[in-house]
Structure 1
């Protein structure tokens, strides 16, 4: 797929976020407000663009239509915000921005539109109980005549304005049960729609609504391209593992997005999320251009200003992983901006600009692949029974009684591998994605409940020809409708058969001497949910760990101290097994150390995950160091050289009370002295970027290393070699 160069090279972006009510209109304040209150009355496009130029911004998302249904250009179809008066805000922003080579992408809200809902209440979506979908923002049905109105809006906008793209938002408010959707479902299936994830047919209904959303997006995409073929059509992809599959978006919709885009706000999903979101979107776009949004706010849209050190960390985490960074700012109600925000953006974007020669065109060096699956997302919504966060002083012993634990498994694996400085990318269940498996030394299947025949054939072939596979929990134990199978579908690969889910909800892992358990504790390690009982089906399997049951199973009448009973004798039954298969290696773990690590953060879980990956890969990671858990090491290929980024962030301690805790905050840029890295012996020279300082290489008979005198929050190195 070819695309204009700016899609990937204009990586310093601003999301100018402005859903502004027009209280002169009925329905935009529930009757509580009637005066304009200066909203939208003081926008100054020329001054705004001067500020953008100073802040080194080269792409800006500017609103065309907000979630209130207000327009910010001279529309002849919709309602232009009254506060703008004669000002064509979008038009003036485009004109001023293009004078300075700043690209302008027009924002458009799809499913949320207060004005359209007021004028056409019969076009609104409905909740499962039949009530109108009016939780803060009214949701519109994409199968109602509202779709035609959207097409009219897009036609007017793309015809009259030389925007460089369209940012298509609010596409994740499914499912809906309005009459238009019910009639279409009845027409397609001859039966009523299921109303709950616990009703038969829910998974098929979710997949059907994904197809309806694809149909809607395809119509918008084709319309935009017909009028302005060079304009980018961009979907706001709220479809990471944090989103329910029934909300609508999946990777297949990204075929209709010229670049990937996802909100990566750390106040929503933690400081690890910008890095994860970047790799997730890179996979979704099959290596194509993408952006990640981060915010200027401590809590989303609360008009605070996040510390500069944290905004730097979040932005650098994205660009080092190959993405464009788009910082979300919101003007005050009258259209004026907070100058301090743009001082910080200038600081960040100047740093990025100095490194762009080693950012653009760089590709990740493949080592480990973390497998994700849309089918597993769908099953997780039906099967997952995770217990709500406890307000007690200790976690409950059985954190999740179900077989499905997708989000903690995925994020726990990612956290463990990045902290262990093991390069990891995302591979998913689309044929074009899992066809790339051969690039990786090892693939990690964290409780991937269901796999298609094509996926399983590809995995067997991958391992037989020298790849390595790690699988945990209930991987391959379900069909794609959520029915548990009698045995693992990959039992031949694992070398073990499924017996049953364990009876004890607080078992222990007991490690034994093996290549996988070097430097691991020999005391029993608790597992905060039942494990899977297995038995060997081949003598080729070796055991690295066994299961120890607890002294008792806790009940209301029988308990030990605070419900975490101590370990009983070793059962001798396998918990972690390993084997060779063809020319490759396989590990099966009848536990979920990754889910436990995500929830509990205990070091032995991370060490087990890292040890499994390194043994399976049969090769050490390319860049290694000791410690530096708060530093992410990203290794990319540019030409024949490696570009290595070290991105560091040191959050402050938090206060916790009940279910509340202090937001993750980074206020200081910490200087770390004398950072030693082990590097490949084939490296000829190492330069610091952008300074060009040469770092001496120390060589011994077994390894090569460098020592960086000190690093701050972003260190970039160029390793000269022949790494093609």
Structure 2
């Protein structure tokens, strides 16, 4: 049950600790649920200490798991009313039970009505490969399947009028060349023969059925709290436009299942500014969904869960109920340990508001291949994630038109369209005392000259060039570091401090004119600035963050960090430790909450999978928390251990060591 402030009854419930209980079970498996025991089921989730469990009404196989007269009822259920028994077992414990319904995957419908399956451009049925073999058919929501699905939802509501919420899964934009899809596109004013028209038509179809399914289940749950509604598999690039469909967001990201370890913390920082009602979702599977005969390493589960908790989000862990209906003790024990740690951390940090001082402005995401990759961070975003979190500087990803109020520093990544509106917004931010870092320059250098003090030199560069840090200004070696590309030639005017300059190669490498293995060596140093700082504005004449994200060269990363520090020297939190460390800060009345994470994903097999097997002991991590006009009364860890501290220049300084992967420190203030 929840351990924070009482729930407000006029908004849907948002879990803090929840389980998403998969039950995708083929009709070829019979009987099923014969070992299901309501008391054992209830005891399990009481032991886990969760406040919500998502339960299956309909799976990807198109089977229903409750006592219905519909033909899709799983043939192996016999006399078991599984979903009702599950709900009745959990309700007395105060555990909410949103209902899962698969949308675009339905093998029963695809088999009995092949005319409802999406059609590719060659006229064949659309299927999604599953682990290298043909898997789920994708249903066409412009066909008769739409009415069929609506009838199923109506049936679920008829049997469960007290439902707490609905989790609609597999709701991505699916292209189809079927006759009904083409007709729907034309009727909506889209060209079904153009790539853009097909994409727009697919999005319109999604919005149509999402609106219908949302409205069908509108109402209150069993205790008068409005039902939660969530549509999974939606691209975050449309999150702002789709806020009216879902009551919250669930950031599905199994690092070992194709998402990787950068996806969740990156996407969370783009979701939170738009939809702060969000939870993170990982899974107990070693690989991805369906890898049920495996268990996620304990350290990985804790890392992925506590990472989301450190951002102020709840956590959901995906699990799978075996066909027999009884969970494995090994899985229960693994989840219980993780949820116990999560609960202790959540209770200690109750009421703390995340401190995100930096906004990282990126170009709008225009699309991508597949659900997993559409929102994956690019090179610049990845660099910002790694560099800022390792220094304890929390941030949000924002778009060019978003509000900058409340941010003390803004980093503008390469590729952002710098129009008049963005120039005005950045100028107001700087004039209001904010810091600005430009990772690259727009084509129209003059548009930002009042901020940067730079003008175009109108000199061509080389295909690959070098950057030489100013050792005195950055603390980096006086060395020429190669870049992935060229540096824009600019001239600096006024009181501008040069942090790095351009070094040119001897000549451009071509098939007939080259030297060495990869690129022509560095030749003549130039006076052209590569990075400059002017009061609160720092500018790189090339994609600085992008270069680090693309190459991983530590000195390029250090150069990016030094560039930010030149104009933003006093963040609210600063940690000095190993590069893999992550730090976040939360504040509430009377105290500051510091989260430190020390885990290191690694690849341990020939499979392209990174995971975390053990936490990494952290030794003597130096931490600074800015308190300004407040004074610390005590500094103690989650375990109640007091730490020695000092106060200097408006910061409380302390050092902490820990060996279990996570440390929470509370700075109590006068």
What TM-score do the two structures reach when normalised by structure 2? 0.87
Deviation at 1:703, TM superposition (A): 5.0
Q: Deviations over 1:261-311 (max 9, x none)?
A: 1212111233344333433332230x2x21111121221132211221121
Distance 1:563 1:110, change over 3 A: same
- The answer to whether the aligner puts 1:417 opposite 2:388 as a matched pair is yes
- The answer to whether the aligner puts 1:144 opposite 2:143 as a matched pair is yes
Which residue among 624, 627, 630 is the counterpart of 1:678? 624
Distance 1:155 1:702, change over 3 A: closer
Report the counterpart of residue 25 of structure 2 in structure 1: 20
Distance 1:409 1:207 in 2: 28
Report the counterpart of residue 132 of structure 1 in structure 2: 125
Deviation at 1:7, TM superposition (A): 6.0
Report the counterpart of residue 344 of structure 2 in structure 1: 354
Report the counterpart of residue 705 of structure 1 in structure 2: 653
Which residue among 605, 619, 626 is the counterpart of 2:576? 626
Q: Secondary structure at the match of 1:310?
A: helix
Q: Secondary structure at the match of 2:405?
A: helix
Q: Deviations over 1:424-463 (max 9, x none)?
A: 223235x6xx22x121111112224335654443333222
Report the counterpart of residue 372 of structure 2 in structure 1: none
Report the counterpart of residue 70 of structure 1 in structure 2: 63
Q: Secondary structure at the match of 1:79?
A: coil
Distance 1:188 1:699, change over 3 A: closer
Q: Secondary structure at the match of 1:564?
A: coil
Deviation at 1:523, TM superposition (A): 0.6
Report the counterpart of residue 479 of structure 2 in structure 1: 523
Q: Secondary structure at the match of 2:243?
A: helix
Report the counterpart of residue 168 of structure 1 in structure 2: 168
Distance 1:702 1:100, change over 3 A: closer
Distance 1:145 1:499 in 2: 63
Which residue among 204, 216, 233 is the counterpart of 2:209? 216
Which residue among 510, 514, 524 is the counterpart of 1:555? 510
- The answer to whether the aligner puts 1:512 opposite 2:512 as a matched pair is no
Distance 1:7 1:311, change over 3 A: farther
Q: Which structure 2 residue ranges, 5 or more long, are not aligned?
A: 1-6, 129-134, 370-375
Report the counterpart of residue 439 of structure 1 in structure 2: 406
Distance 1:693 1:599 in 2: 41
Distance 2:635 2:40 in 1: 40
Distance 1:566 1:93 in 2: 68
Distance 1:557 1:238, change over 3 A: farther
Distance 1:263 1:191, change over 3 A: closer
- The answer to whether the aligner puts 1:377 opposite 2:332 as a matched pair is no
The number of aligned residues is 643
Decide whether the 8 Å contact of 1:8 with 1:360 is kept in 2: no
Distance 1:310 1:593 in 2: 31
Which residue among 283, 300, 304 is the counterpart of 1:295? 283
Report the counterpart of residue 556 of structure 2 in structure 1: 605
Decide whether the 8 Å contact of 1:155 with 1:227 is kept in 2: no
Q: Deviations over 1:555-584 (max 9, x none)?
A: 33444333233212124333223334xxxx
- The answer to whether the aligner puts 1:461 opposite 2:454 as a matched pair is no
Report the counterpart of residue 231 of structure 2 in structure 1: 235
Report the counterpart of residue 252 of structure 1 in structure 2: 241
Q: Secondary structure at the match of 2:93?
A: coil
Distance 1:177 1:406, change over 3 A: farther
Decide whether the 8 Å contact of 1:546 with 1:574 is kept in 2: yes
Distance 1:344 1:75 in 2: 35
Decide whether the 8 Å contact of 1:107 with 1:166 is kept in 2: yes
Which residue among 571, 594, 597 is the counterpart of 1:644? 594
Decide whether the 8 Å contact of 2:58 with 2:102 is kept in 1: yes
Q: Deviations over 1:439-493 (max 9, x none)?
A: 1111112224335654443333222322222222465x5xxxxxxxx66865654
What TM-score do the two structures reach when normalised by structure 1? 0.81
Q: Which structure 1 residue ranges, 5 or more long, are not aligned?
A: 24-35, 196-201, 382-404, 478-485
Distance 2:122 2:191 in 1: 18
Report the counterpart of residue 99 of structure 1 in structure 2: 92
**Cα RMSD for the two superposed structures:** 3.1
Report the counterpart of residue 331 of structure 2 in structure 1: 341
Deviation at 1:45, TM superposition (A): 3.9
Distance 1:351 1:697 in 2: 26
Distance 1:597 1:128 in 2: 40
Deviation at 1:129, TM superposition (A): 4.1
Distance 1:456 1:154 in 2: 49
Distance 2:315 2:176 in 1: 33
Report the counterpart of residue 490 of structure 2 in structure 1: 535
Report the counterpart of residue 182 of structure 1 in structure 2: 182
Distance 2:554 2:16 in 1: 36
Deviation at 1:356, TM superposition (A): 2.6
665-674 or 620-629: bigger deviation? 665-674
